[in-house]
Amino acid sequence: MSDTGGGHRASANAIEDALDALYPGKFECDIVDIYTEYGPFFPINSYPSMYKIMAKYSFLWESFYNFGETDFGLWLNEVLLDTFCFEPFKECLNRPSGSTNKRADMVVSVHPLCQGTPLKILANLDSGGKTCDFSARDTPFVTVVTDLGGAHITWFNKNVDKCFVPSDVLNKKAASRGLKEDQIVQYGLPIRRGFWSKVENTSQSSSKPSGLFEILNRKGEQAVSHLSDRENVRQHLGLETDLSTVLVVGGGDGMGGIVGIAEALATALGNYSDVVSYQMVVVCGSNEEAKQTLSGKEYGAGVKVSVEGYVNNMDEWMKAADALVTKAGPGTIAEASICGLPCMLFAYLPGQEEGNVPYVESNGFGKYSRDPDVIAETVSSWLASPEKMKSMQQAAQTASRPSATLDIADDIAQIAFATRQH
């Protein structure tokens, strides 16, 4: 993977965690930002910082993303990576992993730019350096797509053993890139452990969650948070227990114009009433500037606002909230749907996040607007209508795939076990 955005490492960590939970002591995972650690020179070794800049100026990102999906862009990317990254990436894939003195038994990619060249390198290593023909590879290689309603073409390489996709749209996109039905597996997005808790209640959403949960239970694992009840969670987080609660998030980096949206929303909610009726929590992620700008400000009498920086307990903040106002990040949306949180989307990154807007809207658990007044009106109208809230909460949970991480990890484990027996 590479740390372009927070989602790739988060997914990798979640899969590692799930392997540990299901098969303790059986796997050692070596999670590598291959571009930063092994990229031969600028700009290849600086993708994460370049991504941060481009994500800020979305027209830049849009042009880059769209160019990368053209035939010429795909060809150029392949030629550049094969020419300049083959040898350095080979060093990475050949390095001793974990406590063994051998290279990895299996490779899992959770990044759109980690398919073609790594697959050729594995074929080369498996054939003793004789060829780069894909068919010579016998080290298993799977891709786990970490986008949701849209994804770049480079995610889909028909030479992988399995490609795990989270949604119907990406299932179709994988098929349209030539992957066969038996290569495509659809469970959901891998997300961190704190969100695995509702697996037991949604067994219809997956082929085998209850089985996996039995394994966890047999091992005495506490997969369900001890703070399941919303009021307890609020108390634990220092929030009022009886106020309608709106959570505002801009992804791991606090992007999408979070300051402007939070201020306008707080002002609108604050003016709705003379007595405190709402509380709003703004999670700024790693955006320190946003945290400083928003902290300590007073809004109208109707709202109480608290501001957080990067939080490590997003599952608790989501469990405490009635509604979420967020940038259309795939991780945040998948987590919110597990928590049954209606989502008001206020921004998306062109390209891969664009499809997350119809994903949320067509699944019936949210809306999109850039206009802070529309956002405030929409969210407060949801909160004022128990029926509307109930139907959106149900829609969110129906779309959710809380067992996805365990399902993906279990499939990966089975592939690894089968290969070792061989």
What are the residues binding ligand UDP (CB under 6 A)? 5-7, 10, 249, 251-253, 283, 285, 310-311, 314, 329-332, 335
- How far apart are the C-alpha atoms of 304 and 241, rounded to whole Å? 12
Q: Rounded to the nearest whole angstrom, what is the least distance from the CB of residue 301 to ligand UDP in the complex?
A: 28
Q: Which residues of 243-271 are buried (b: 16+ CB within 10 A; e: fewer)?
A: bbbbbbbbbbbbbbbbbebbbbbbbbbbe
For the chain, the straight-line distance linking the first and the last C-alpha, in angstroms and rounded, comes to 27
Which of 35, 89 has the CB closer to ligand UDP? 35
Nearer to ligand UDP by C-beta: 15 or 415?
15
CB of 372 to ligand UDP, least distance (A): 20
- Of 106 and 406, the one with the shorter C-beta distance to ligand UDP is 406
Count CB-CB contacts under 10 A for residue 354: 16
The per-residue DSSP string of 253-297 comes to TT-SSHHHHHHHHHHHHHHS-SS--EEEEEE-TT-HHHHHHHTT-
Q: Give least dist CB 353 to ligand UDP, A.
A: 8
Contact 350, 147 (CB under 8 A): no
Rounded-to-integer distance, Cα 222 and Cα 231, Å: 20
What HEC string does 185-248 produce? EECCCCCCHHHCCCHHHHHHHCCCHHHHHHHHHHCCCCCCCCCCCHHHHHHHCCCCCCCEEEEE
Residue number with CB closer to ligand UDP (205 or 405): 405
Beta bridge mates, 246 = 280, 323
CB of 408 to ligand UDP, least distance (A): 16
CB closer to ligand UDP, 7 vs 402: 7
Least CB distance to ligand UDP at residue 347 (A): 10
CB of residue 170 to ligand UDP, shortest distance in Å: 14
Give how far Cα 237 sits from Cα of 230, 308, 321, 326, Å: 11, 11, 11, 20
* Cβ proximity to ligand UDP, 140 vs 330, nearer residue: 330
**93 or 247: CB nearest ligand UDP:** 247
**Contact partners, residue 191, CB within 8 Å, separation at least 6:** 10, 11, 14, 331, 334, 335, 338, 404, 405
Nearest approach, Cβ of 58 to ligand UDP (angstroms)? Answer: 12
* Radius of gyration, alpha carbons of the chain: 22
- Which residue, 16 or 415, is less far from ligand UDP as judged by CB? 16
272 contacts 239 by C-beta, under 8 angstroms: no
Looking at the Cβ atoms of 93 and 110, the one nearer to ligand UDP is: 110
* Closest separation in Å from C-beta 272 to ligand UDP: 27
Residue nearest to ligand UDP (CB): 329
Q: In whole angstroms, how close is the CB of 286 to ligand UDP at the nearest point? A: 7
Of 3, 94, 340, nearest to 13 (Cα)?
3
Could you tell me how far CA 297 lies from the centroid of its own chain? 31
**Which is nearer to ligand UDP, 179 or 259 (by Cβ)?**
259
DSSP string, 8-48: HHHHHHHHHHHHHHHSTTT-------HHHHH--STTGGGHH
Smallest distance, ligand UDP to C-beta of residue 250, A: 8
Closest CA to 338 of 403, 389, 418, 260: 403
